[in-house]
């Protein structure tokens, strides 16, 4: 039986999140941050509709479709990986001087996946759903990311996409060290998006199975909702974690230990290795995660 739980996060937890943000800002002040700064938007922007290309019906028979929602929308995710998913409503965080800028957001929703096979990794498997225009109005980093996403969605789906135009994640105080396995037209039910593999860090980090993620970003066709899926994924030739003494499996690419090493060359080799890997060699497989994303359905 598939159980769906919807719960609203209490305001007391929001206060604790604010305090955590303040402490985090103080602790990270001495570290380099990859998050770029830009001009703040002053109006709620209008997001143009996304035109969806025709897609084939999935060949895998989905599990029973659970549906839940907070009244603003309904969401269903019809794969076994999402069985028993839980929706949490996250209260708005205002830019009141006491909150980290990357944490400022309107009320939004987090979908947690307690039965996802990879637990205990650096990132929890989650799907985030934001009201897009409201988010763009209050968070300049998110506004830049959504515009980058629109640019990526406008690109020719049959041509290679420039990794430089892929969006970041506004609530990560870190940057992407590489991007691989990019597909720029991965529709879900009611919208379209882009998926790729990456690792976020504040330093030149070794690519490893504890931090590697499958990331998906999309917009509903009416422009009302912004979807971010962050799902842990592993590769058989990557080290299990980021520690410098972590063994590199056969066929893996050693991390350079020389401070003067060509890090761009290292990340290019990693990208090439992941790009040519058969989808089924990843865990979970790329096909499985693509199908999970395709099964997302957001309706009024």
Q: Out of 67-76, 221-230, 277-286, which region has the weakest mean confidence (pLDDT)?
A: 67-76
Average the pLDDT over 198-215 and give the result: 96
Q: Does a structural domain hold residue 44?
A: no
Residue 181, Cβ neighbours under 10 Å: how many? 18
For residue 152, the surrounding DSSP H or E stretch is helix 140-154
Relative to beta strand 86-90, strand 5-8 is: parallel
Residues 6 or more apart in contact with residue 77 via CB below 8 angstroms: 65, 66, 85, 111, 127, 292, 295, 296, 297
Average pLDDT over the chain, rounded to an integer: 79
- pTM for this predicted structure: 0.77
The pLDDT assigned to 258 comes to: 87
Q: Does a structural domain hold residue 226?
A: yes
The pLDDT assigned to 79 comes to: 72
> What residue numbers bound the domain in which 189 lies?
5-34+64-299
Q: Does a structural domain hold residue 11?
A: yes
Residue 73's pLDDT band (boundaries 50, 70, 90)? Answer: low
**For 251-296, how does the pLDDT look when each residue is reduced to its tens digit (9 = 90+)?**
999 999 888 888 999 999 999 999 999 999 999 999 999 999 988 8
Q: Does a structural domain hold residue 53?
A: no
pLDDT above 80: residue 50? no
Give every strand in the sheet of 213-220, ordered side by side: 5-8, 86-90, 108-112, 126-131, 225-232, 213-220, 191-201, 175-183
The pLDDT assigned to 268 comes to: 96
**For 102-140, how does the pLDDT look when each residue is reduced to its tens digit (9 = 90+)?**
889 999 999 999 989 999 999 999 999 999 999 999 999
Q: Does a structural domain hold residue 277?
A: yes
- Give the count of domains, the chain: 1
Average the pLDDT over 83-93 and give the result: 87
Average the pLDDT over 237-261 and give the result: 92
Q: Does a structural domain hold residue 111?
A: yes
- 189 against 82, higher pLDDT: 189
Percent share of the chain, pLDDT over 90: 52
The pLDDT assigned to 160 comes to: 84
Q: Out of 213-217, 241-245, 268-272, which region has the weakest mean confidence (pLDDT)?
A: 241-245
- Neighbour-count burial for 107-134, b at 16+ CB within 10 Å, e otherwise: bbbbbbbeebebeebbbbbbbbbbbbbb
pLDDT above 70: residue 87? yes
- 102 against 49, higher pLDDT: 102
Q: Which residues pair with 76 in a beta bridge?
A: 67, 297
């Amino acid at each position: 039986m598939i159980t769906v739980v919807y719960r609203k996060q209490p305001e007391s937890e929001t206060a604790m999140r604010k305090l955590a943000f303040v402490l985090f800002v103080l602790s990270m002040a001495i570290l380099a941050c990859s998050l770029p700064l830009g001009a703040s938007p002053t109006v709620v922007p209008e997001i143009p509709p996304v035109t969806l290309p025709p897609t084939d019906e999935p060949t895998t028979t989905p599990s029973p479709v659970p549906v839940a929602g907070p009244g603003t929308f309904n969401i269903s995710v019809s794969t076994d990986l999402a069985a028993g998913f839980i929706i949490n409503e996250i209260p708005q965080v205002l830019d009141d001087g006491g909150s980290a800028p990357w944490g400022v957001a309107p009320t939004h929703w987090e979908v947690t996946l307690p039965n996802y096979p990879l637990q205990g990794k650096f990132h929890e498997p989650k799907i985030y759903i934001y009201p897009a225009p409201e988010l763009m109005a209050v968070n300049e980093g998110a506004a830049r990311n959504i515009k980058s996403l629109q640019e990526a969605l406008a690109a020719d789906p049959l041509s290679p996409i420039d990794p430089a135009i892929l969006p970041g994640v506004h609530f990560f105080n870190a940057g992407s060290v590489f991007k691989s396995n990019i597909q720029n037209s991965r529709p879900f039910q009611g919208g379209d998006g882009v998926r790729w593999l990456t690792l976020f860090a504040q330093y030149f980090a070794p690519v490893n199975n504890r931090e590697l993620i499958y990331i998906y970003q999309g917009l509903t066709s009416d422009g009302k909702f912004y979807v971010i899926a962050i799902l842990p994924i592993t590769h058989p030739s990557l080290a299990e974690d980021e520690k410098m003494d972590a063994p590199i499996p056969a066929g893996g690419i050693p991390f350079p230990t020389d401070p003067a090493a060509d890090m761009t060359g290292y990340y290019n080799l990693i990208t090439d290795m992941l790009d040519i890997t058969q989808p089924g060699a990843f865990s979970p497989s790329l096909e499985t995660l693509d199908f999970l994303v395709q099964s997302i359905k957001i309706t009024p």
